[in-house]
């Protein structure tokens, strides 16, 4: 009887497999041919077949990434994962340079070294690649020197990206270039209502299920609130008070859902009190903050940052993180470092998306 039962189970599994194989083969063709103007005409929709077929997800990974990727979105739609590993967007520094001055770090009298910039960018790229990161590249554009700072292109949320609306006219031509790249990669682009200023993941970072937003220097507080309303998540605007730390990611770096780096003097009193609700805060000293210690890239328990931050490296090690330092001084001349040079397409390590 046991052998017969096993044979019947095998036949049942075989038939079950054929049935679902036919479903997955035929339905995408039916939808794309029957509804030319429907969401199914978008190639991304073919990755969302689980929204209409209640099949079990064969993913046993219980990591934060798995939970985030399979969270329900608006209208009850489940998004199938677009990524199976940490994925970042970078832009080679072919046309990077100090062509204007829009923050205290920038001086046309202190130009960047093109060859050194390429070496430093490549070293960061290679470290991330060695940590298992899938790196997507945006084509550099002459006349857009800050396109290299992809973190400012937008804020990622599932298959949507909220595009930057730059405050300074020098950077505004980047947005159409960014939008074209995102659309070609299958993302839905969302523009904030005019005249709101918003500078992407430079000023909007999730720590757990809370979106922290930097405002005053570049982005508007009302832009951060608009994002929270759209995503239906809790938002905490943080006022930045030092122009040297003009973006939130220059003075605040969530490491996981309950841990973050921060530089206290960059924030007003209310912001510091708001940040104190994060269970574990690691304060960065002034000398290392000026090395953009908080502008770090987090990959699992790995933290990639600029050199010259020995105290932070020791603190990270104490809390179970693995620091990786690489020189990025050429980009510091423009007010950027490791985090500025990358945009995490699959969501930051610390983010739990609603």
What does the pLDDT look like over 32-61, one tens digit per residue?
Answer: 333 344 333 343 333 333 322 232 222 223
**DSSP-derived 3-state class of residue 92:** coil
Q: Mean of the per-residue pLDDT values for the chain?
A: 84
CATH number at residue 171: 3.75.10.10
Please check whether residue 336 lies inside any domain of the structure.
yes
- Whether a cis peptide bond, with omega within 30° of 0, leads into 91 is no
What's the rounded Cα separation, in Å, for the pair 256 and 280?
Answer: 10
Q: What pLDDT score was predicted for residue 3?
A: 42
Q: Do 52 and 132 fall within a single domain?
A: no
Active-site annotation holds for 125: no
Q: Do 102 and 207 fall within a single domain?
A: yes
Please check whether residue 143 lies inside any domain of the structure.
yes
Q: Is residue 219 a contact partner of residue 238, using CB atoms and an 8 Å limit?
A: no
Q: What pLDDT score was predicted for residue 25?
A: 44
Backbone angles phi, psi at 323, to 5 degrees: -80, 145
Q: Which residue has the tokens 């995490």?
A: 344
Q: Which residue has the higher pLDDT, 112 or 5?
A: 112
What's the rounded Cα separation, in Å, for the pair 36 and 320?
Answer: 51
Q: Do 31 and 116 fall within a single domain?
A: no
Q: What pLDDT score was predicted for residue 248?
A: 98
Residues spanned by the domain of 323: 87-344
User: How distant is the alpha carbon of residue 343 from its chain centre?
Assistant: 5
Residue 32: which residues within 8 A CB-CB, separation 6 or more? 40, 41, 45, 46
Q: Do 112 and 45 fall within a single domain?
A: no
What are 41's two structure tokens?
A: 């005409």
Q: Do 42 and 93 fall within a single domain?
A: no
Please check whether residue 139 lies inside any domain of the structure.
yes
Q: Do 67 and 122 fall within a single domain?
A: no
Q: Do 67 and 102 fall within a single domain?
A: no
Sign of the alpha-carbon dihedral angle for 350, 277, 230, 151: negative
Active-site annotation holds for 324: no
Please report which helix (H) or strand (E) contains residue 288, including its range.
Answer: helix 286-289
Please check whether residue 150 lies inside any domain of the structure.
yes
Please check whether residue 63 lies inside any domain of the structure.
yes
Please check whether residue 70 lies inside any domain of the structure.
yes
Residue at a domain's end among 23, 46, 76: 76
Residue at a domain's end among 76, 109, 132: 76
Q: Do 39 and 136 fall within a single domain?
A: no
Distances (CA, A) of 303 to 102, 213, 297, 317: 28, 21, 6, 10
Which one of 247, 253, 294, 324 is the catalytic residue? 247
State percent of the chain over pLDDT 90.
77
Q: Do 286 and 140 fall within a single domain?
A: yes
Please check whether residue 20 lies inside any domain of the structure.
yes
Q: Do 171 and 234 fall within a single domain?
A: yes
Specify the pairing of strand 297-299 against strand 188-190: unpaired
Q: Do 197 and 338 fall within a single domain?
A: yes
The tally of domains found in the chain comes to 2
What's the rounded Cα separation, in Å, for the pair 178 and 305?
Answer: 25
What's the rounded Cα separation, in Å, for the pair 176 and 182?
Answer: 10
Q: Do 269 and 317 fall within a single domain?
A: yes
Conformational region of residue 132, where left means phi above 0, alpha means psi within -120 to 50, and beta covers everything else: left
Please check whether residue 36 lies inside any domain of the structure.
yes
Q: Which residue has the higher pLDDT, 319 or 5?
A: 319
Which one of 207, 253, 309, 340 is the catalytic residue? 340
As a whole number, mean pLDDT of residues 242-258 equals: 98
Q: What angle do CA 107, 108, 110 make, to 5 degrees?
A: 70
Q: Is residue 218 a contact partner of residue 197, using CB atoms and an 8 Å limit?
A: yes
Please report which helix (H) or strand (E) contains residue 18, including its range.
Answer: helix 2-34
Sign of the alpha-carbon dihedral angle for 315, 321, 327, 331: negative
Q: Is residue 275 a contact partner of residue 262, using CB atoms and an 8 Å limit?
A: yes
As a whole number, mean pLDDT of residues 315-329 equals: 98
With residues binned 3-state (H G I as helix, E B as strand, rest as coil), the percentages for the chain, rounded to 5, are 40, 20, 40
């Amino acid at each position: 009887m046991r052998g017969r039962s096993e044979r019947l189970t095998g036949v049942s599994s075989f038939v079950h497999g054929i049935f679902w194989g036919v479903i997955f083969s035929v339905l995408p063709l039916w939808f794309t041919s029957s509804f030319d103007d429907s969401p199914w005409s978008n190639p991304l929709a073919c990755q969302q077949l689980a929204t209409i077929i209640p099949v079990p997800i064969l993913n046993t990974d219980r990591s934060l990434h798995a939970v985030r990727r399979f969270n329900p979105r608006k209208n009850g739609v489940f998004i199938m994962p677009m990524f199976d590993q940490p994925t970042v967007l970078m832009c080679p520094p072919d046309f990077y340079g100090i062509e204007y001055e829009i923050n205290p770090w920038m001086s046309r009298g202190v130009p960047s070294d093109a060859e050194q910039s390429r070496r430093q960018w490549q070293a960061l790229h290679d470290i991330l690649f060695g940590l298992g990161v899938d790196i997507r590249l945006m084509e550099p554009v002459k006349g857009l020197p800050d396109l290299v700072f992809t973190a400012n292109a937008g804020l990622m949320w599932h298959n949507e990206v909220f595009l930057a609306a730059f405050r300074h006219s020098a950077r505004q031509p980047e947005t159409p270039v960014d939008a074209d790249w995102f659309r070609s990669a299958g993302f839905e682009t969302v523009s904030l209502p005019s005249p709101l200023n918003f500078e992407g993941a430079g000023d909007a970072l999730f720590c757990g299920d809370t979106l922290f937003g930097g405002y005053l220097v570049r982005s508007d507080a009302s832009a951060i609130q608009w994002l929270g309303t759209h995503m239906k998540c809790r938002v905490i605007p943080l006022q930045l008070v030092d122009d040297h730390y003009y973006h939130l990611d220059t003075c605040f770096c969530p490491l996981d859902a309950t841990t973050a780096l921060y530089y206290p003097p960059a924030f007003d009193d209310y912001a510091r009190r708001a940040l104190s609700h994060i269970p574990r805060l690691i304060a960065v000293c002034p000398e290392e903050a000026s090395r953009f210690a908080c502008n770090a890239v987090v990959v699992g328990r790995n933290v990639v940052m600029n050199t010259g931050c020995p105290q932070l490296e020791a603190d990270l090690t104490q809390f179970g993180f693995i620091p990786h330092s690489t020189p990025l001084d050429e980009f510091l001349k423009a007010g950027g470092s490791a985090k500025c040079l990358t945009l995490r397409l699959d969501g930051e390590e610390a983010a739990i998306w609603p």
